[in-house]
Structure 1
Amino acid sequence: MKNCHLRKYFQKIMFTLLCVSLASCQAEAPLNTYKINGLSLEASRDSLLPIHINRIKAVNANAVSLMPFAFLRSTNEPELIFNADRQWFGERKEGIEHAISLLHQKNISVMMKPQIWIRGQFTGDLSFKSKGEWKEFETSYREFILLFTRIAAENDVEIMCMGTELFNFVKSRPEFWKKLISEVRKEFKGKLVYAENWDKVDLVSIWKDLDYIGVDAYFPINMEAAPDVEKIKKGWQIHKNMLANLSKDFNKPVLFTEYGYRSVDYALKEPWDSGRENYITNYGLQARALSVLYEEIWPEPWFAGGYLWKWHQDESAGGLENDRFTPQNKPAENVVKEYYRKFRN
């Protein structure tokens, strides 16, 4: 028991020292350029409360992504299940409407970001064997998107995301997407985006019909366990150049519909990895990687901002023994707070 207390005491000291160190390295003068300083808010079983919004405001976030989910049991059952009673409150119509109202009261903008979950399969590889199955899936996907489009329109949501990491669907069914985007435009007067995975973002053709180029930005940056700042900066350059050129080609700003890192060794090798294997915790790397990202990407004129993955309602979420993506109660939280302060309007 004594060793446990000593370990926690030591962790608290290290947390404080690292936060002070990171904060002292950041420029004091705030920038005048407005950016979307967003958080991806995990849907919960219960209602969002004002205290949860206060924690979001405390890190200087000015935007939140809300993520209603639809479920596909398998590609042999192509009808989506969504807005079902057994889903969490935060994933259903009532929960989404409740969250929008509270966030807008606190002057936090909202992106509606519907997502699909498929048992045992990555959504980007989604495919069906027959035209009939594609049609059945498209009918339910259209209903899914239009339901939350109408909620977004009725509640003055700022950004509507047309889908998340659906490369094969977008590539294989271009006429469906063109028609769906047109339908959404008629009902929703805000901005439109689609969220493509980092490795396919330059292969998507629908950017011309949208307002942002949306990227789930889990770019591989460095292969080492704990690279320093200069190595992280170097690793960003190829991706940064690609994004700048993509923005120029389509004359659209880039929006990181998701971005973030786990607090583990090798977090920049495959940043998308969310496996549950045993990892060595490294909250310093998470903080360092976010600092470099903000320094390298946020000031760029072609960049609109992004939504950090991910933020939980629970005040005790994260912590120094947590190896997941959240920055909460880790040195990374202070990094987010300081950089979002620089870029807030």
Structure 2
Amino acid sequence: MRQIGILLLFFLQFSCGQKPEKINGVSFVGSREPADQEHVEAVMNVNADHAAVMPFGFIRELGSPEIIFDTDRQWYGETREGARQYIKLLQKNGIQVMLKPQLWIWRGVFTGDLKMNSEADWKRLEEEYSDFILTYADLAEETGTAIFCIGTELEEFVKARPEYWKSLIKEIRSRYQGKLTYAANWDEYPRTPFWRELDYIGMDAYFPLSEERNPGVEELREGWQKWKKQINELSRSVGRPVLFTEYGYRSMDYAAKKPWLVDRGEQQVNLTAQANAKKALFEEFWKESWFAGGFVWKWFIHHPRAGGPSDNRFTPQNKPAEAVIRDYYRKQ
């Protein structure tokens, strides 16, 4: 009955022309210390009404099944205690939370390539991942968190163990009463097999849009067209709205060519490219009834010293892109 109800609501929004409220979110990066009111006020100042809180588990190498998490060697904001403190403070200020536990493989190896070398290791990984993710599903329920993300960019794991993921979703549903999503990589989402079991089609939206050094808004909007068509078709076919679990661009030349790049390359700072790319994304998606909103990547809690005009990384803080976000989030 729950699945039927979701489908009916989804299609009523289309047929009645209803425009649901958007999730105007930021990815609230874990720090070494607790968050305080000043940190949350900076989030509110860009008119955000949601924040992703992201505790981490760590894997030593690509083929290892062991997940290390919630230890005293982690930063405070990456632990269960820290996630709880962040959630409660954000909620106290009227900001709803997506709890988004993530894995980190040593030296930043891409999690989508996580693959085991034996059946025994796969079984061990399943046990380890269940322990990790259910720990945070329980926290999400305890804190009344609005959305819970069951995984982030784990394509090989999902592809190799589909029955595990189906049973995991059922177990999470038995513990947590809020909405569920999964954060698929931008080129993974068409192959994710369990969208109908979740409430949102989640994707980390690092789609390539332009080969140009400094593309304008209209060129970037044109670059979205083929991707947008495919995303919309999937949304309609499975009857679920789309949520950008991450979206963002670096403030550098060629920002929309390979938006997923996280290397430390010293591309020249280009604040306009970042701002234009965000404008194009807002103009293409925030008006669509099948689009639920998203979480900008990424937002550091110490706002005054984050980002700035000489920074070429993802954060929009203290850059023109911050004003773009503030303006579009205010309109929603």
Q: TM-score, normalised by structure 1?
A: 0.89
CA distance in 1 between partners of 2:112 and 2:64 (Å): 17
Q: Quote the residue 1:208 is aligned against.
A: 196
Distance apart, 1:169 and its partner CA = 0.6
Question: Helix, strand or coil: the match of 2:305?
Answer: coil
Residue of structure 2 aligned with 1:260, choices 242, 248, 264: 248
Residue ranges of structure 1 left out of the alignment (5+ in a row): 1-30
Q: Does the 8 A contact of 2:19 with 2:288 survive in 1?
A: no
Residue-pair matches, total: 313
Q: Distance in 2 between matches of 1:138 and 1:75?
A: 15
Match of 2:12?
Answer: none
Q: Tell me the equivalent position of 2:307.
A: 318
Structure 2 residue corresponding to 1:249, chosen from 237, 260, 282: 237
- Higher gyration radius (CA): 1
* Alignment deviations for residues 187-236 of structure 1 (CA, whole Å, 9 cap, x no partner): 10000000000001111111011010000000000001011122111100
C-alpha deviation, 1:33, in angstroms: 4.4
- In the TM superposition, 1:70-81 aligns within 5 A as 70-81=57-68
Kindly report which structure 2 residues correspond to 1:1-345, keeping only aligned pairs within 5 A, or say none.
Answer: 33-120=20-107, 121-314=109-302, 315-343=304-332
Q: Deviations over 1:252-299 (max 9, x none)?
A: 000000000000000000000011111111101111110111011111
Q: Tell whether the 8 Å contact from 2:215 to 2:276 is kept in structure 1 after alignment.
A: no
Distance in 2 (alpha carbons) for counterparts of 1:82 and 1:247: 34
**Gaps (5+ residues) in structure 2?**
1-17
Alpha carbons of structure 1 residues 76 and 107: separation in structure 2 relative to 1, 3 Å: same
3-state SS of the aligned residue for 2:42?
helix
Letter in 2 for 1:316: R
Deviations 1:302-334 (A, max 9, x none): 100000000001122010000001111001100
**Equivalents in 2 of 1:194, 1:229: separation in Å?**
29
Question: Which stretches of structure 1, 4 residues or more, deviate above 2 A after TM superposition?
Answer: none
What's the counterpart of residue 14 of structure 1?
Answer: none
Evaluate the alpha carbon distance shift between residue 159 and residue 133 of structure 1 in structure 2; reply closer, same or farther with a 3 A threshold: same
Give, in angstroms, the shift of residue 76 of structure 1. Answer: 4.5
* RMSD between superposed Cα atoms in Å: 1.1
Residues 156-177 of structure 1 deviation map (CA, whole Å, 9 limit, x = unaligned): 0000000000011111101110
